[in-house]
Amino acid sequence: MAPAHSSDASSPWSGLWRSGVLHSCATGLDGNYAGAIADFWRAQFATLEHGDRVVDIGTGNGPLALLCKAECERRGIHAEIHGVDLADIDPPARMTSLESQYDGITFHPSTPAECLPFADGSVHLLVSQFGFEYAEQTAAIREAFRVAAVRSRIALMMHTRDSIVAETSERQLESTDYLLRQTPLWELALEMARVIGTRTSPMPTPEQEAVRRRFNAAGSDLIERASTASSKRMFETVIRAVRTALMHAERGHWQEAQEQLLARRKSLEDEELRLRQMTRAALSTAQMDELRAVLRDAGFSTEASPLFERPDRCMGWTLVARRG
């Protein structure tokens, strides 16, 4: 989900969805949602009736919309399924292996949760998988009330501060801080690519040898840090990217190698932005209680509970609100 309003805020998410991942679930699932997450959503979709309109807020590349479509097909009913996201999404174009599965799903890119393109009282089920909490809550709730039909439900799965996702994100932010600000590896790798690509003799000049020594020292420090880091994946990705770029420089393409390094760093910067947005969006118990109170005041009954992937692994909280 891209946070509401700002194009700067949505940019790191637009890049993620353009890269062709189906979802950003921190469990690292292959394919679509599974386990407790899928079970929760199938239970929500099981009560849909033929012709109901479903809107997925913060749809990304549409995993929840796909799950809804599959459940409707299994039951032999048709629902009008929409996916909205502030990010510049285009799932059928990005997820070419799933292109045909998106048939019948309408996506709305660059669309904030606070300004949905649906008529008053026209949505029967409004859902969001780790997306609704990124929006400006007062405006997003008001908009949800506007589009909700007399007989309607709002089903949300949300980041909370007591979840493994929030805990993991805090550790990952420690790693991004080191990789982006505490190591000179990026600058030295860029210089090393130039040295490799422009050398004219097997024997390095004193300047080239000095660059090599500094680069090797920074690389050794990074590898040592990676051995004890809780977010080894980030370190391994950076190490692999640097090695690949320098191999490209060895083949004479040092400027392209530098472009690869800069792109990898930009990708890491975007990941850090997404992590920071997530930690800001994660709800406290008090905020969850406030949200439930607002829904009840609007005539919805509410049920909320933590979602456990396994007994010791809380993924967040689910909130289901019903009216009519």
What residue ranges do the domains of the chain occupy?
7-163+282-323, 165-277
pLDDT digits (tens, 9 = 90+) for 112-124: 999 999 999 999 9
The predicted pLDDT at position 29 comes to 38
Greater pLDDT, 131 or 98: 131
Q: What mean pLDDT do residues 27-49 have?
A: 78
Answer whether residue 169 shows pLDDT above 90. yes
Cα 64 to Cα 167: distance, rounded to the nearest angstrom: 24
What pLDDT does residue 20 have?
64
- How far apart are the C-alpha atoms of 266 and 268, rounded to whole Å? 5
**Closest of 239, 266, 240 to residue 16, by C-alpha:** 266
Q: What mean pLDDT do residues 9-16 have?
A: 75
For residues 17-37, average pLDDT: 61
Superfamily of domain 7-163+282-323: Vaccinia Virus protein VP39 (3.40.50.150)
Name every residue whose Cβ is closer than 8 Å to that of residue 296 and which is 6 or more positions away in sequence. 302
What pLDDT is recorded for position 26?
41
Segment 64-72 shows an average pLDDT of: 96
Quick one: which H or E segment has residue 57?
A: strand 53-57
Does pLDDT of 23 surpass 80?
A: no
Average pLDDT over residues 178-185: 97
Please compute the mean of the pLDDT values over residues 305-311 and round it to a whole number. Answer: 90
Beta bridge partners of residue 54, listed in sequence order: 81, 125
3-state secondary structure 115-140: CCCCCCCCEEEEEEECCHHHCCHHHH
Query: What pLDDT score does 4 carry?
Result: 45
Of 167, 192, 173, 184, the closest CA to residue 315 belongs to 167
Please give the model's pTM, rounded to 2 decimal places: 0.87
Mean pLDDT of the chain: 91
In the predicted structure, residue 7 carries a pLDDT above the cut 60: no
Six-digit token string for 116 = 């949905």
Q: Inform me whether the pLDDT recorded for 5 exceeds 70.
A: no
DSSP tag of 160: B
Closest CA to 125 of 179, 172, 68: 68
When pLDDT is averaged across residues 190-212 and rounded to a whole number, the result is: 92
User: Poorest-confidence range of 21-25, 59-63, 82-86, 181-185?
Assistant: 21-25
pLDDT reading at 28 higher than 50: no
The whole-number average pLDDT for the span 149-178 is 95
| 52 against 24, higher pLDDT | 52
Q: Mean per-residue pLDDT for 79-99? A: 92
Asked whether residue 56 carries a pLDDT value surpassing 90, the answer given is: yes
Which whole number is the average pLDDT over 116-137?
A: 97
Which whole number is the average pLDDT over 252-265?
96
Residue 199, classed as helix, strand or coil, is: coil
Q: What percent of the chain has pLDDT over 70?
A: 93
Three-state secondary-structure class, residue 20? coil
- pLDDT tier at 31, thresholds 50, 70, 90: very low
Q: What is the rounded distance in angstroms from the CA atom of residue 143 to the CA atom of residue 118?
A: 10
Predicted confidence (pLDDT) at residue 270 exceeds the cutoff of 80: yes
